[in-house]
Structure 1
Amino acid sequence: MQGAPAGSLLTSGVGRRVLTLFLVAAVVPLMVAVGLAWHEFNRSTEEGAERRLRSDAKVYGVEILTRLQIAADKAVEVARAAEQAGGGQLPATGFLVNDFVAIWRLGERTPPAPAFTKFIKPSLADREYLASGETKLLFTQGVELVMLRQLSDGGILAFHLDAPKIWGPRELRPFNTEFCVFGPTGDALHCTADFGTGVRLPFAQGPDTRGNMFGEWEIGGATQVAAQWQLFLDGSFAALPLDVVAVQPRAVALHSGTIVGRVFLPAIALVLVLVGYLSLGLVARSLVPLRQLKDAATQFADGDLASRVSVRTGDEFEWLAEAFNSMASRLGRQISALEAMSGIDRMILSGTKLGDVAADVVGHLQSMTGCASAAVIARDADAPQVGTMISSHDGEIVHDRVELPGNVDSAWCRPRAFEIDETDELEAPFQGRFMQFGQRYVDMVPVILNDDLKGVLLLGFDSPIETSKRKEARIFDLAGRFAVALSSVEREETLYRQANFDELTGLPNRQLMKDRLEQHIARARADDHRGALLFLDLDRFKEINDVFGHSVGDVVLVQAAKRIVSEVRDRDMVARLGGDEFVVILPAIRNETIARNLAERLLNRLSEAFTVKDVDHYVGASIGIVLMPDDGDGVETLLKNADAAMYRAKDAGRNRFEFFSEQLNAESRRKIGLERDLRRAFHERELEVHYQPQFDIASGEVEGAEALLRWTHPTDGPISPAEFIPLAEESGLIVEIGAWVVEQVCKDLRKILDRGMHPGSMSVNVSACQLRDAGFHNAVLDPIRRFDIHPPYIQLEVTETAVAQNRDTANSLLNSLRQDGIRVAIDDFGTGYSSLSYLQQMPFDVIKVDKSFVDKIGSGATSDNICRTVIRMAQEMGKKSIAEGVETREQLEFLEANGCDVAQGWYFSKALAKEEFFAFVEQQDQHTQRRKALEIL
């Protein structure tokens, strides 16, 4: 037998582990078996001792019971003899009385009774029991045994039993066994051995365990083993049971276990030594082939792929050596395939482009299979019927775009072989390329991931060949890895598009725009040239979005994006910031004229109609232009300045462009400060409500007044409403301000009415923000009710645009207010989004002719016709017309001639402060005021 020295075995890691495992495998079960056997033997020994001791206790207890019954029988005879003798005289028969220490009649002094007789007090239950002719057993003073017997005259005889006779002689007890008898209280009545004083029952007693206890008992300075048996006396003597305990020294009771233990442990040690010796020999015999396998594996790992091992043991080690040699051979063939896979993996992780990954796969296909030509086709994720083909022949890589068959998913989902001469080019778009390579046969392997055809691998041969199963497996592995690569490329492209491009228009988004702008700013600074940025915001787009819906708005945005892109150069960048905002970056311009010309072209293109579902929509745009790096040294600064320039264009009338200037920057800062001051002014009640009277054109009488908001800044003086009202709307503060204005108008109107004056209806302007506010209805009606104002005194002025932004909700809200008596006027008619169909749906009572139309009266037929048409429209619809901004006699005469009902403007009166307006109303004719009040009421 070939073996190994014990020293080498113990120095070998495998040897030590195997030896340890052998020992553990042998010793652990042995020790478990030994432990279980030892436990079982001890348990059996203890059970035997328990049975033996409990049997001894039972025998001893039965003997005591027998002696008690004999004594009871004698007590019966004594009692019978005493009754026959008459007078309760005790018999002199020795064999009857000699078994008792004393006999006496309870309650009498003769014959003399023992001292403990005073403790004998039969209970009512005891007397009833005695009256039935039974004998009662009592335990007095803990150790004295007394029997009671009732005579026919009702007297009770007491018998003091001779305890040693009852407990029996010591000579009759089993060898090395002692007994103790315990009374009901647990005190020892008798022990056959001297265990000292104060001996008590060794076991805790319970109703379920009394009389069934076994265990060790420390008594008399030694460890005893005790078993308990219970002697029941209730049936014979109406007494509580006695506990009889048999006791043996522990060494005696468990003697057999001690003897076995002396033999058991040496036998176990001998078995362990034998197991260790045999394990050592078996491991030593197995170590040599293991060492040979280890040496061969080490050489193979160091790069010696020719390393083999020769083992002739005729067992599993020889089989293992052959398996190792076979594995080494296969690994050598698979190295090239693994290199191909790892190369593709590296490309996937490094984010290599599709063309480079495909070229690498084609090269590995040729080296793995030996084919003369190879190609891959990768489907486009966005256009699945089109793909990119990368092919290789004689080291030349060719890229082609090919159209895939209509049934590509079903036709190319399984491996196929094509003969080029008999294949239709529509079915095999690679036909022409492989014919050019001189290949007549093509094997196709699909590239599939999660049941999705990503592309195909193509192998070209001069003649049909049979591919081995292993080679096919490597090709399929390469196809699977290429599928992962294609999926990774698609995912990277998708994530890049989602992160950097707008989903709706396909344009770069804000993030990509900022990155590119940062690069252009740095390049402009480094190369000392200029660039430009155009910030576009579509005009009136929100109205289209709100009126016609987001679907129409999205189409308009897409068309606008295409128009913008069509006007810029290839090197310029167009991005969508969000909503209706776009940015155009011109990286390099010679002068600002290029930016100006582009802005003009964009305005012209965006002013053209946007046709959606056969409906033309017009938006236009406002453009802000900044030059870089002149107008800002950072992305955020340039965007902020361009935004300021764009808003200047909007404020200047829209559909125009503005270049940024420092003046615009100052205006932006003023706008921010003004918004902050406006909020403070509102909360500190610096705002005031002025009233501009409205006059009946025909009679010249006061018809009512329009409430106008005024603000006097603590340092800048009066601020134009045209400046701070838009700020309030942009910040949302207009909702609170509007509610406060209604409150003030009702409060002032109440004061006027309380003075007996009637100024007519009071008009209050309402913004689109207020119409969208859920609390607007209550904000109007609450102060009207609180100040007890008749609702027709209040007239709300809304613009067409404000209603159009949320038409259904606004119409419902205004209808509800009109039902409550509030009047509604359309303000600035003709300047916003005008539509006769929508105008017919709007709930209103008055049409106001905008000041821009009134200003142009007399300047031409077109302007006059606009005013005339608006007035006539109001007449045809049965509505009242009010012209605002009347400043000349000529305007008033035109309005009067064309039937306009009411006029207001500086020609009549400017907007008056509250007290001035009160004084103005007081000067009016009282008769006229009362008539106006009656018309309202």
Structure 2
Amino acid sequence: MTVFILILLLILATVSAVYFYITKLSKDGAYSKLSSHLQDSNRLELEHYAKILAVMDEIDCAILSNASFEHVVGLLFSHVPSFIPCNVIAVAQLDKDPADPSSTLAATQDGKRHHLATGLDKSLKKILNEHANGYLVEPNETYASIAPLLGLGAKRILMLPLFRDAQLSAVLYLGFEENVQLVGDTRRISRYIADRLSVALTLVLREKSLYYQENFDEVTLLPNRRACRERLSFEISRAQRYKFKIAVLYISLDGFKKVNDATGYAGGDAILKQVGQRLQINLREPDLVSRFGNDEFVVILPNVTGTSGVSKVAEKLIEFLSHQFSYDEHQYFLNSNIGISVYPEDGLTVDLLIQNADTAMARVKAGGVERFMFHEANMNTQAISRLALERDLRKALNSNELFLVYQPQINLRNGKIIGAEVLVRWQHPSKGVIPPIEFIPIAEESDLIEQLGEYVRKMACMQYKTWQAQGIAPSRIALNVSSAELMRQAFTANFLALLQETGVHPSDIVLEITESLLLDVPGHVNTSLQHLRKQGMRIAIDDFGTGYSSLSYLAKLPFDVLKIDRSFLAEIDKPSANNEIVSVIIDLAHHLNKTVCAEGLENETQLEFLKARGCEAAQGYFLSMPLSVEAFEKFAIQNAQPKNS
């Protein structure tokens, strides 16, 4: 560029000298006319080169200020057409996937930007390597890689190669109309522009390379210790603001040294890559897995809700890391130990959380029994207990340990049975009857809730059909359904198929859904509920009053029954705000043409209060506890209520 400027100054000096010499000879006549012509020519040439120098200077400043490559390209798109008569400009980065629409960015004369998926023909690549100053593609030449540019209006294309470390890394395309002549200055200036682009691209890639070296492990390609600590610091800031927990899992590989000694560094590196891949595919998208040391990895789990979910992740990782690893046609096995710390219980800083997870991992190694451990002892007890209960629940689903009970729902006007809520119980072989409050949350946090739900619905429908045949069936049975089940696209079809299989009509069913689920229901779930209602099924909002429904939103929900949560009935026999709340809920339901069923009815005072306010139905221990099949049949016979009465 320096040579270019010196030549330019020499030309200008020569032109000026001739101009002054001629004007000195004559102030008018032919010499005067020549002088005027040279003066105009000189001014236009100065303006032209001044514009070029200004653009070059702006590009240089952008490069020196570490501007992005895209920004430098944007400057070219904005300014180059003002001094090079091109109608299309494009830049293709050859290190990107040719199918990637961002591999080539183009701009046309009207200022529009275009993302193109282009590669580079092998023949053109060879030509550009041999023509460092550029190659002009004429209209009679055909290459697949420039077809998208021809589609933008270019007829002749000047291709200028961009080199990085002596390798062709990008191409600058300047497209021209067919009749545009490319004079020497145009080719030379185009080459200067390409050189600047090459510098910008080299700097950007070098910056990316330095960032990668600083933040990623070169063997596993995972974030390294530095990146892990930065990410954990960021997640702590978020957790402080949004009040959620973070789990840090410190993972150490047992037996890796022996494998490394047996396979050499190449084999050890290959197995570490496999370890990293297994960890990644078994984590959520927001989670981070990093290589923290030689055979140590740290996993960050943001936004966790409790120890049970974290325990499941740890168990899953341990299981997948216990599978065989392959290298050079040989199989190797590793064990893993995991120490876990939880924010904020085990620390408020990056150092404390990692240190405590490391300490817990050391305790795992020393103990030799458990494969993972929380830093806080109480969390270990809870986690181990919940995992044991989950294993037992899996067995229970296949061992007839689960059974159903039925709580009558009573018409408060005449005291007759109008329905029954189906509830599940677990007869554990060694622990006795386990209440649902203990095992339902575990089922919901695992993949067991769908299997459990299907079991309950099938057994309940079969029993209801038997009662219908005996003439003692209540008008309806109420079945609870979890959010996980409702989210499944196939839930509605599968449920209706079950009803057809068992001979139960949809109008015999009330589907109970919690208020919180309905408040955040996706579109397809809403559609499913509407479809079930059209088939005759009724939808009940369970535990109403514990969520945050707005009245306007409530009116749009697809439901038929409001179930008042038991917490509102607890203090009805005392002066309290709950009395008014219950009254308002009943009035609201009636205003929306819905019926009301109160849960947790426990005494005469509550019963009379509900009757006085027009509540249609209730259930609770004052009326009847949940009953076994035999006990319900006796109760039903004593309180026979014809259907549709």
Give the alignment's TM-score, normalised by structure 1: 0.35
Radius of gyration: which is bigger? Answer: 1
Give the alignment's TM-score, normalised by structure 2: 0.50
- The structure with higher relative contact order (CA 8 Å, sep 6+) is 2
